[in-house]
Amino acid sequence: MSIYESSYDTASLQVINMPYYLTLSVDKEIVDLYDGVTFSGRLTQEHPASTAPIPVANAIIRIARHIVAEAGENWLYYGITTTTDAQGYFQIEYGLPQSAEYEFRAEYQSPEGLIVSDSVFLEVEQTLGTVIDAELADESIYLGDSFTVSGRVFDSNGNPVPGGLYVRVNVVGKSQLFTVYLDAQGYYSCTVTTTEAGITAPGNYQIKVTFPGGSV
């Protein structure tokens, strides 16, 4: 008969959480002030034995933002959250009250305390209406003489449109176009001869000044 003493050994087993993956996208990269944008994304987990991402349903996603030009990363949440659907997808609409370049971040904190996030950049611009003031230095000239049209471009708030943008001047019905850049105070001035403007006979003509818009 053989008698065996008891013995034991141990082996270490590490149990880890499946990694989370969060994606975030936005339907536009540039948006007009006060217009809404739609953020969307998906939260999944991955397992080596699975050939496809595993959706995480009913997860709370927080949306934060900060202005890129500001020093540091002052993330603002404002209590904005959304919940993933059965396939891990989420979507939320958002409006911006200030013109700036923003970075938006979607964030998820798992029950285990793990935090995953993804971010996108968004440029918010303000589109302003404009008013053009156009005046002729002389309302009556001889054929072959030059004429000068000048004025100023304002935005809808009454501020001059800054330099770097331009107006186009032409005689209505004529194909010749003249590009004139605004100065720092929104002023422009264009002097051309009747021949250059396409006027070949005496008559009454309309001088048109067009501001095509733009951004600075």
Give 118-171 pLDDT, tens digit per residue.
999 988 877 777 889 899 999 999 999 999 999 999 887 788 888 888 899 999
Positions of CATH 2.60.40.1930 in the chain = 20-125
pTM of the model: 0.59
List the one residue out of 43, 24, 40, 27 whose CA is nearest residue 86. Answer: 43
pLDDT at 97: 66
Residue 94 has pLDDT above 60, yes or no: yes
List the one residue out of 46, 47, 43, 45 whose CA is nearest residue 59. Answer: 43
CA 67 to mean position of chain CA atoms = 12
Tokens of 150: 């000048």
Please say whether the beta carbons of 139 and 149 come within 8 A: no
26-49 per-position pLDDT tens digit: 988 877 766 778 999 999 999 888
Q: Which CATH architecture has domain 130-210?
A: Sandwich (2.60)
The CA distance from 85 to 91, in Å, is 9
pLDDT at 72: 64
Contacts of residue 26, Cβ cutoff 8 Å, sequence gap at least 6: 37, 38, 39, 40, 104, 120, 122
Tokens of 99: 């013109």
List the one residue out of 127, 119, 126, 131 whose CA is nearest residue 186. Answer: 131
48-84 per-position pLDDT tens digit: 888 899 999 999 999 988 888 776 667 776 678 999 9
Q: Which CATH architecture has domain 20-125?
A: Sandwich (2.60)
Tokens of 166: 């331009």
pLDDT at 161: 87
Q: How far is CA 153 from CA 55, 61, 88, 170, in A?
A: 54, 46, 51, 17
Helices then strands, counting H and E runs in the chain, come out as 0, 15
Please say whether the beta carbons of 44 and 36 come within 8 A: no
